Structure 1
């Protein structure tokens, strides 16, 4: 029995989460570091494309979740400032944490933390 996991998740979504979570974490950390130096500086077109490619994968995985409606993409026509990109990525970080809080917990029968995978 899993404690503290109120929702189950498909194995496909767990695999998607696991495939991009570390990439997202490092990207977010890097953008925050760059943005702390010059928050008003504009991201390059290439950076926006890289970030949006990852955000699109996260959005697909988060479809149907309550946070989905708050997950915006970076505007590639009007290149965002670092501060704007950091704000958007913080929404994704919150959404990913929320999903994990709902679907990941301690399995007392197995004595381990794990995803509550649909059967």
Structure 2
């Protein structure tokens, strides 16, 4: 049985197996951080995010940046500013943009493969 056609529309090169593994490992952490920041923002929207949280979030975003660096959505995501320390609501906005960009990336490269009857990453090593 032939494999499903590659889902990539040509706008983003296929990820490597390592990038797909990084995505799968780190996106749940990003989602958890986004939920936490959203809850914090509901309580105190204009509160300032402390430097430790910014450092931790940027470490996560830096690794995810390597996954989507050749994707068109990469131009629309930013790191959190460690010098000016954003407000909670600003951090939520930044994390929301990352979440949306990563979801689009997965939609381009993670699809159903009829030969194995499950969803999988379509990678450089496993097109």
**Runs ≥4 residues deviating over 3 A:** none
CA distance in 2, matches of 1:36, 1:60: 31
Task: Give the number of equivalent residue pairs.
Answer: 119
Contact in 2 for aligned 1:48/1:76 (Cα 8 Å): yes
Shift of 1:4: 7.3
Task: With a CA cutoff of 8 Å and minimum separation of 6, indicate the structure with the bigger relative contact order.
Answer: 1
TM score, norm. by length of structure 1: 0.93
Structure 2 unaligned runs (5+)?
none
Q: 1:60 aligns with which of 60, 63, 66?
A: 66
Q: Which residue of 2 aligns with 1:49?
A: 55
Structure 1 unaligned runs (5+)?
none
TM score, norm. by length of structure 2: 0.87
Contact in 2 for aligned 1:2/1:116 (Cα 8 Å): no
What value does the CA root-mean-square deviation take over the aligned residues? 1.4
